[in-house]
Amino acid sequence: MRERLTTRGGLLTAVAVLVTALLVSVVVAVGLGPAVIGPAETARHLWAAVSGGTITADEVTTHQIIWQIRAPRVLLAALVGAGLSAVGVAAQALVRNALADPFVLGVSSGASVGAVAVTVSGGLAALGIHAVSAGAFLGALTASLLVYAAASHRGTLSPLRLVLTGVALSLGFQALMSLIVYSAPDSEATGMVLYWTMGSFGAANWGALPVVALVVLPALAVLRRRGRTLDVLALGDETAASLGIDPDRHRKGLLVLLSLVTGVMVAVSGAIAFVGLVLPHVVRMVAGAGHTRVLTLAPLAGAVFMVWADLVSRTLVAPRELPLGVITALIGVPVFVTLMRRRSYLFGGR
C-alpha cells in the first residue's frame, strides 16, 4: 500500500477515502447521543441549516439538538484533530525527533497555563471572548521559546536534550497551573484545571468555531506548502544550509506558527495528548516519509480520529462524559508501542 500512495493517483484516492470517511463520521457523530437520530434525518437537518431550508414545527427540538448542540462540537473536534496531527508532523520535523509533539515539548502545558491564568485572573479582558485564546497563545509561545533556548547548545539542537527539556518544563508548567488554582479565590478553578489538563469539547459553540477555523485551516495550507522545506530540515542543518535553506529562520517561523495553532486549540479543547504524536507515524507507515504527502493525509486522519474519540468520550458512560485525554491515551499508547516494536523510527523510516 505504501508504494501505491507515493503516486499521485494513490494519494488522490487516499484523500477521497478520508474525506468520505470524515463526512460520514460527522453525520454519524452528530446523530448519536442521549437522543439517537438516524443518519438520513441528521443529514437532512444539517442540509436545511446550511441551505436555509425549512423544518416543521414538531422538528424544532431535534433541529436544535443537531445544529446548536452537536454540530459545533463535532466540527470543532474535526478541526482540532486536524490541527493536532499537522502540528505534530511539523514539531517532529522542526527538531528532528520522532518523539516530539506539542504535548511532549511542553507547548500544550504552557498554553494551558496561559489559558487558566487568564480565566482565573480575568486578565486580557479587553480582548473579550478572545482573551482565553490570547492567553493560551502567549503561554504556548513562552513555552516554545523556553524549550528552544534551554535545549540549544552552541547553535545546535540535540533531539534528546529537547525531549528531556520539554518533559521537564511540561511538569513545571503543570506545577505552576496547580499553584494558580491553589491561589484562586473560588473552587471553580479546580474544575478548570481538570478541563485544561484532560481535554474536552463540552464547551463547544458556534462562536468558537470561526476563530479556530481561521487559524487552523490556513496553518494547514502553510505547512503543506512547506513540505519540501520540512523534508530538508529533517536531514539536518548542514544539509539544509548546503541546499540554500536557512534552518534557523525556518525553525523560528515554524515555532511561532506551531505556538499559535496550539494555543488556539488548547483554548477551546484543553491539552489533548498523543494525537500529534501517534497520527503522523501511522500516516508515515502507509504513505512514506515525504512531508507533503504526510501533511495531506495526516490532518484528515486526525480529524476522523478526533470525531470518533469525542463520540466515545460523551457516549460510553452517558450521561457522564469521560475526559477526552483519557480516550486518546488509551488508544495512543498501545498504538505507539506497537509501531515502535514493529520498526525503529527516525521520521517514520526504518
What pLDDT does residue 214 have?
A: 93
The answer to whether the CB of 96 falls within 8 A of the CB of 240 is no
pLDDT higher than 50, residue 346: no
Statement: residue 119 has pLDDT above 90:
no
For 103, phi then psi, to 5°, come to -75, -50
Is the confidence at residue 151, as pLDDT, over 90? no
Please give the pLDDT value at position 11.
81
Check whether 350 has a pLDDT greater than 50. no
State yes or no: pLDDT of 349 exceeds 50: no
pLDDT digits (tens, 9 = 90+) for 70-100: 999 999 999 999 999 999 998 888 877 777 7
Would you say residue 336 has pLDDT above 80?
no
Between the alpha carbon of residue 303 and those of residues 22, 54, 81, 82, 193, the distances in Å are 7, 30, 4, 5, 25
Global pTM reads 0.87
Q: Which of 13, 90, 21 is nearest to 303 (CA)?
A: 21
Residue 105 has pLDDT above 50, yes or no: yes
Tally DSSP H helices, then E strands, for the chain.
Answer: 16, 2
Question: What grid cell was written down for 155?
Answer: 547553535
Average pLDDT, the chain: 83
pLDDT tens for each residue of 223-236: 999 888 888 888 77
| Domain residue limits, the chain | 2-342
Most confident of 122-131, 179-188, 312-321: 312-321
pLDDT, tens digit (0-9, with 9 covering 90-100), for 244-300? 787 777 877 887 888 888 888 888 888 888 888 889 988 988 888 888 999 999 999
SS3 8: helix
pLDDT of residue 348: 45
pLDDT digits (tens, 9 = 90+) for 152-187: 776 666 667 777 888 888 889 888 888 887 777 666
Read out DSSP for 275-294? HHHHHHHHHHHHH-S-HHHH
Percentage of residues in the chain with pLDDT exceeding 70? 89
Q: Peptide bond before 185: cis, by omega within 30 degrees of 0?
A: no
Q: What pLDDT score does 236 carry?
A: 75
Rounded CA-CA distance 262/113 in Å is 13
pLDDT digits (tens, 9 = 90+) for 9-66: 778 888 999 999 999 999 999 999 888 899 999 999 999 888 888 888 888 889 899 9
Could you tell me the pLDDT band of residue 193, with boundaries at 50, 70 and 90? Answer: low
pLDDT surpasses 80 at 323: yes
- Backbone Cα Rg of the chain: 20
Q: Give me the percent of the chain exceeding a pLDDT of 90.
A: 25
Q: Are 34 and 316 in contact (CB under 8 A)?
A: no
CA proximity to 339, closest of 276, 278, 248: 278
The residue written with cell numbers 498501545 in the block is 334
pLDDT given for residue 347 in this prediction: 43
Q: Residue 180: how many CA atoms within 13 Å on its side-chain side?
A: 25
Q: What is the pLDDT of residue 1?
A: 54
Distance CA 266, CA 142 (A): 14
Q: In whole angstroms, give the CA distance from residue 187 to residue 120.
A: 10
Residue 17 to residue 34: CA distance in whole angstroms: 29
* Whether CATH 1.10.3470.10 fits 2-342: yes
Cα–Cα distance for residue pair 154/148, rounded to 1 Å:
12
Q: In whole angstroms, what is the distance from residue 277 CA to residue 29 CA?
A: 24
